[in-house]
């Protein structure tokens, strides 16, 4: 009994330490994001120096709560924006969506992600749904998105 209590107490301490130290906590996979509104799409071509990672289609999706932020520049908790990256497949003169390369996600929760501007950043490779990116990668997302700090770390604007 006492041993069980100690183990549970130990686990609780471990969990708390990880949370307190984690400057860029992991973000859950944005389930069914393909049902959300499309904010915009773009294509990164072979002349881009980041083609290996970023090349191909990008579709940005906005979960309902993100709409307010896109208009005001201040996103409420629960806002989620997704950057889905897909390979390009050319056929018969057409350009089509190929396999999914990755799903990058920004999730607003001012308390949980207080150390990264209130946004959680993460990226899921291919069809992966449970294992996101390393802390280093997530920190790099935040660092670059800080260039758009005045628009609450989001680059895209709503197009009428």
Binding site for ligand HEC (CB under 6 A): 42, 60, 81-83, 104-106, 121-123, 133, 137, 140-141, 144-145, 154-156
Q: Which is nearer to ligand HEC, 12 or 39 (CB)?
A: 39
Q: From the CB of 10, what's the least distance to ligand HEC, in Å? A: 33
Comparing CB distances to ligand HEC, the nearer of 86 and 133 is 133
How many other CB atoms sit within 10 Å of the CB of residue 104? 23
CB of 83 to ligand HEC, least distance (A): 4
CB of 70 to ligand HEC, least distance (A): 9
DSSP string, 44-100: E-TTSTTHHHH-EEEEEEE-TTHHHHHHHS-PPTT-EEEEEEEEEEEETTEEEEEEE
Nearest CA-CA partner of 115 in 22, 13, 18, 29:
22
Residues written for the chain: 160
> Half-sphere exposure (CA, 13 Å, Cβ side) for 86?
18
Nearest distance from C-beta of residue 27 to ligand HEC, angstroms: 8
- Looking at the Cβ atoms of 89 and 147, the one nearer to ligand HEC is 147
Q: Which is nearer to ligand HEC, 9 or 125 (CB)?
A: 125
């Amino acid at each position: 009994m006492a041993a069980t209590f100690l183990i549970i107490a130990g686990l609780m301490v471990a969990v708390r330490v990880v949370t307190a130290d984690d400057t860029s906590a992991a973000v859950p996979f944005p389930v069914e994001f393909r049902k959300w509104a499309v904010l915009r799409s773009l294509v990164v071509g072979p002349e881009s120096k980041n083609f290996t990672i970023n090349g191909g289609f990008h579709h940005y999706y906005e979960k309902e709560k993100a709409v307010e932020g896109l208009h005001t520049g201040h996103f409420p908790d629960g806002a989620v924006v997704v950057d889905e990256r897909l390979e390009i497949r050319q056929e018969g003169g057409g350009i089509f969506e190929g396999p999914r390369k990755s799903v990058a996600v920004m999730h607003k929760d001012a308390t949980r992600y207080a150390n990264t501007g209130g946004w959680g950043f993460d990226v899921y490779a291919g069809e992966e749904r449970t294992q996101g990116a390393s802390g280093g990668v997530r920190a790099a997302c935040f660092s670059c998105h800080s260039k758009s700090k005045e628009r609450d770390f989001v680059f895209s604007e709503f197009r009428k």
